[in-house]
Structure 1
């Protein structure tokens, strides 16, 4: 991709990664991603905002060939997908100064061995004049690392948000044109990366409310010419109440647990509760994370393996504990052969979840009529609790 004009003297740079399907050896990328950097030419000074992931450095440095001078480089976030090409840019522009938060300064020295004399540390709310353009630096800690910040371009009312409001999506369109597609990608991104920091993101949204924003330019994905689209979505994901939804991650070895899962799904639907089941043997973990954003209840379906939960179920519990969704209730269903401590093991794996545990339903071997009746009672209890709490 070549450099692309956003507005007069403001340009997108970076790389669209069409082919990657895994980020950080962890996060699925069904739609690829992009690594966005931005160049702003003021009447007196020129600034580069962020760089790209090291494997994309060749394309990025080629884009810089026509840029005679850079006075400042802003690093919003020390993670290498945004900072990984900083040393090459500093080598090309030895007079440039690197602007970061104080915490990012130390992290970039540790991660990339950038010399200390290259840095300018900025305070929250500090401004920088480029002549006819003014940048305001706003600290946004824990979005999603402790050192992060965003930059607001006052005259053009553009927020350069790095990972905040990002989406892993590869597209030839510079701006969002299909909000439905981007909404799903942005929600997946929020669920996998931002949801653990839901409480501090609320505070950062409040800080940004003071800015008159007409465009958001994130570090991944397309630019938002209608900022309310993504800002309102973030407000809902961080401030909204859970929905009348049960997320049901499950795995079955000899069909007994599967029969229990199928029965519970029907019982919940009959009670007016929405269900999102995920067969952990084949599921897209990103889809599971997205469902957790809104779920009022999690029910884990698992057989007992060597006296504990199936490893896939244990991973689902670990994931939920790490992502910290705003879930209110939890239960466990499943079949066992000779005994064990499945419920105790799973409960011990979710200390971060502030949930009420609803009585589990476990049965020995093939589920009996008694087990199915217990599943009906579980569905009724979940429906009642959702109604009592006003979850819709």
Structure 2
């Protein structure tokens, strides 16, 4: 399948509707796509990115009527974008591989490509295809250090690589900012881009002067209404949080769940929205999206082998890696005889620039007096949200 998105510009990528896990970690409830684009100028032809190696045959079939390619542009060395490069370069021996300076060494490390066929393009460099001009812009740490994007000046198309992407496999290639696409894009941002919020803001500024009419990412549909996704990225990268508490928790004998339910009731009675995430069944992507929004995170865990339950520890590790804009963190839970649950979780959350509340850990089943402690915690959260201007 190939699809024309503008004059002389074609989507030639591959859908992966059955894939359910990315990087052996990230759930893909809607599959994904590996977007490659062909740009035909009056004198030269360029292929922008390739596909995951598992879908190379589909890319080759989409290019079967293309006898000659002058340039292959690699925005990002990760294999889901560049894994088919060796096959493409064998098929088109005349083509030259263009990439950023840092990408060159990474591609040589990851793939069997002759060094003499790689040319580094500079940040801000332009390339003429005849009646079409490609402009290269370095966008480091979106989400690897070597990434760049390409702007097709005459058509106003930004080929954005992982920037503005979404894991969404759909034959409806052109999308006008509907809710499902923005939801998938937010999930993608939360799971992949959140740790790089500050540099994403700088990269957004680099794009601000461009007259962008379409955004063509490397995953998910093409954004026909670029303003919607640009504004969404500006908001997601801002670090602004909401009057929201999320409670990722695990319970073994219902003691921790009692505390979680009590805290939920106390917070809701104070007009503070709460989202619970039972870590034994919750979608990690939903939790990541909530981390992007929540002012406060309360981790609920029983003590297991003198430490937090492994699922609670895993949630802490993921949050620590994603570095969400969380303002306040608390730990509640239970134990049988003792342990170092709090110390362990605090160590796992060392990257979090947030204020930690005093923990509430109860021995055995919670008693009536523990409800008073939970009530005081809820009131403290309310006051903190007020002082932060969230209520």
> Where on the TM-score scale, by shorter chain, does this alignment land: which range?
over 0.9
Q: State how far apart, in whole Å, the 2-side matches of 1:160 and 1:282 are.
A: 37
1:278-289 matches, cutoff 5 A: 278-289=277-288
Q: State how far apart, in whole Å, the 1-side matches of 2:60 and 2:137 are.
A: 28
SS of residue paired to 2:39: strand
1:147 paired with 2:150, answer no
Equivalent pair of 2:165/2:218 in contact (CA under 8 Å): yes
Equivalent pair of 1:124/1:139 in contact (CA under 8 Å): yes
Q: Could you say which residue in structure 1 is the equivalent of 2:338?
A: 339
Any runs of at least 4 consecutive aligned residues in structure 1 with deviations exceeding 3 A, and if so which? none
1:321 paired with 2:320, answer yes
Range with bigger deviation, 238-247 or 133-142: 238-247
Q: Could you say which residue in structure 2 is the equivalent of 1:302?
A: 301
1:368 paired with 2:339, answer no
1:125-182 Cα deviation digits (max 9, x unpaired) = 1100111111110000000000000000001110000100000001110111561111
SS of residue paired to 2:35: strand
1:47 paired with 2:46, answer yes
SS of residue paired to 1:335: strand
- Number of positions where the alignment pairs a residue of Structure 1 with one of Structure 2: 391
Q: CA deviation at 1:281?
A: 0.8
SS of residue paired to 1:334: strand
Q: CA deviation at 1:377?
A: 0.6
1:1-392 matches, cutoff 5 A: 2-177=1-176, 179-392=178-391
Equivalent pair of 2:176/2:225 in contact (CA under 8 Å): no
Q: State how far apart, in whole Å, the 1-side matches of 2:132 and 2:239 are.
A: 37
Task: State TM-score, norm by structure 2.
Answer: 0.99
SS of residue paired to 1:150: strand
Equivalent pair of 2:330/2:356 in contact (CA under 8 Å): yes
SS of residue paired to 1:239: coil
SS of residue paired to 2:182: helix
Unpaired segments ≥5 residues, structure 2: none
Equivalent pair of 2:177/2:225 in contact (CA under 8 Å): no
Q: State how far apart, in whole Å, the 2-side matches of 1:341 and 1:84 are.
A: 45
Equivalent pair of 2:76/2:103 in contact (CA under 8 Å): yes
Q: CA deviation at 1:32?
A: 0.7
Equivalent pair of 2:248/2:315 in contact (CA under 8 Å): yes
1:41-90 Cα deviation digits (max 9, x unpaired) = 10111000000000101111011110011000000000000000001110
Question: Pairwise CA RMSD of aligned residues?
Answer: 0.9
Unpaired segments ≥5 residues, structure 1: none
Q: State how far apart, in whole Å, the 2-side matches of 1:279 and 1:3 are.
A: 42
Q: CA deviation at 1:113?
A: 2.2
Equivalent pair of 1:241/1:391 in contact (CA under 8 Å): no
Range with bigger deviation, 122-131 or 240-249: 240-249
Equivalent pair of 1:246/1:274 in contact (CA under 8 Å): yes
Q: State how far apart, in whole Å, the 2-side matches of 1:339 and 1:189 are.
A: 39
SS of residue paired to 2:222: coil
Equivalent pair of 1:124/1:137 in contact (CA under 8 Å): yes
Q: CA deviation at 1:104?
A: 0.2
Q: State how far apart, in whole Å, the 2-side matches of 1:341 and 1:54 are.
A: 45
